[in-house]
Structure 1
Amino acid sequence: MKTLTLLRHAKSGWNDPVTRDFDRPLNPKGRRAATMIGRHLRSLDIAFDHVVASPAIRVVETLGEVATGYGRALDAVWDRRIYLASSATLLDLVRELPASASRVLLVGHNPGLEDLVLQLVPDCQDLLRDAVEAKYPTASIAELGLPIDDWAKAAPAGATLDRFIRPRDLDPSLGPDED
């Protein structure tokens, strides 16, 4: 059995004077949300034996804030292919994960992460999957169980969605802005 946890980067700032999308930093709400998600992961006693992430600034900062709340370092393998990747690219990346890794955290961007969940989890009457399909907000985590012994066997409709946690589920003030 393999467990794949997908973390979308936290809310980034659009008002910062950066020249490239890749360089956008987190905004204060994003920092709070990422720290809260880290605390929640710690409370669930979830440990990862492999972390792979986009090297975009907002992802690097998200992982730093999650680690603060989590209480331990999350040493990532930085993979540029994750930056704005499609679900097909992400699935290829999942299939390349080391066979020795059982519990993987993949940190990246939408719409790729949302589409990957929808590709891996069968379309059935499932409230968690419906929630992902409605919206995969920033700093949200989706935990998927894959009944496989090698990541190379990851296949569409071959996973269960065991958790979907949004920052607003933990603290309503981290929900959507009212503007």
Structure 2
Amino acid sequence: MRLLLLRHAKSSWGDPDLADIDRPLNGRGKTAATTMARYLKDNALLPNQILCSTALRTRETLARLLPFLPQEAHVQLISDLYQQSEDDYLGIIRRHGGRAQNLMVLGHNPAMEDTALALSGTSSSQAMTNLEEKYPTGALAVIDFDIADWSELHPGTGHLERFTRPKDVRDAAG
């Protein structure tokens, strides 16, 4: 089974009166979300289930992904993905992942980074180096597991197959 951990794209801090949960994507974030959506499609990293935080910036990131998915993905908006810890993300994945072969979680840092690090027992060295350095907005960790159901998920049992940042995709495009 494959877990796709996608951090929301860059959000706007332009309106200081907005609650954090209501911050939208900024222009750079919209571009990065579309860049990562194309990357997912071009690399056949297609989720059949998506667990998404209810924060506006995660929902706007999701909206930019959906047109690039050639299949329908079951989407669940989960308020508990907003401002939670890595332990909470593991519990959410176990409870809501079911038997989805390609499960995407669209959420926030630091929980996203902590979850990726906690689950990655093995990795490509460059992917782990990049992940340990920083989990920037719009970044994607792809972690593979040898399990039949997400309820079997445990720390250290995954293989970090890749860690891709929007700048990596832009740099590769030339």
TM norm structure 1: 0.88
Listed one character per residue, the Cα deviations across residues 23-69 of structure 1 (whole Å, up to 9, x for unaligned) are: 00000000000001101111112221111100100001011112245
- Inter-CA distance 11–102: structure 2 relative to 1 (3 Å threshold): same
Cross-structure match for 2:18: 19
Q: Which runs of 4+ in 1 moved over 4 A?
A: 69-75
Identical columns (%)? 34
What is the alpha-carbon distance in structure 2 between the residues aligned to residue 52 and residue 97 of structure 1? 8
Q: Which amino acid aligns with 1:42?
A: K
Cross-structure match for 1:177: none
Listed one character per residue, the Cα deviations across residues 156-178 of structure 1 (whole Å, up to 9, x for unaligned) are: 11000011110000114xxxxxx
Contact 2:48–2:73 under 8 Å retained in 1: no
Listed one character per residue, the Cα deviations across residues 113-161 of structure 1 (whole Å, up to 9, x for unaligned) are: 0000111112778221121111011011111001111211111110000
Contact 2:46–2:69 under 8 Å retained in 1: no
Cross-structure match for 2:170: 171
- Inter-CA distance 97–114: structure 2 relative to 1 (3 Å threshold): same
Contact 1:7–1:141 under 8 Å retained in 2: yes
Q: Do structure 1's residue 145 and structure 2's residue 144 form an aligned pair?
A: yes
Cross-structure match for 2:32: 33
- Inter-CA distance 128–100: structure 2 relative to 1 (3 Å threshold): same
Contact 1:63–1:74 under 8 Å retained in 2: no
Shift of 1:98: 4.1
What is the alpha-carbon distance in structure 1 between the residues aligned to residue 73 and residue 140 of structure 2? 15
Supply the RMSD in Å over aligned alpha carbons.
Answer: 1.9
TM norm structure 2: 0.91
What is the alpha-carbon distance in structure 2 between the residues aligned to residue 124 and residue 146 of structure 1? 12
What is the alpha-carbon distance in structure 1 between the residues aligned to residue 70 and residue 151 of structure 2? 31
What is the alpha-carbon distance in structure 1 between the residues aligned to residue 70 and residue 102 of structure 2? 18
- Inter-CA distance 85–107: structure 2 relative to 1 (3 Å threshold): same
Within a 5 Å distance, the mapping from 1:1-179 to structure 2 comes to 2-70=1-69, 75-122=74-121, 126-172=125-171
Q: Which runs of 5+ in 2 are unaligned?
A: none
What is the alpha-carbon distance in structure 2 between the residues aligned to residue 166 and residue 47 of structure 1? 17
What is the alpha-carbon distance in structure 1 between the residues aligned to residue 136 and residue 129 of structure 2? 13
Q: Which runs of 5+ in 1 are unaligned?
A: 173-179
Q: Say which structure is richer in strand.
A: 2
- Inter-CA distance 98–71: structure 2 relative to 1 (3 Å threshold): closer
Shift of 1:99: 2.9
What is the alpha-carbon distance in structure 2 between the residues aligned to residue 48 and residue 139 of structure 1? 16
Contact 2:38–2:68 under 8 Å retained in 1: yes
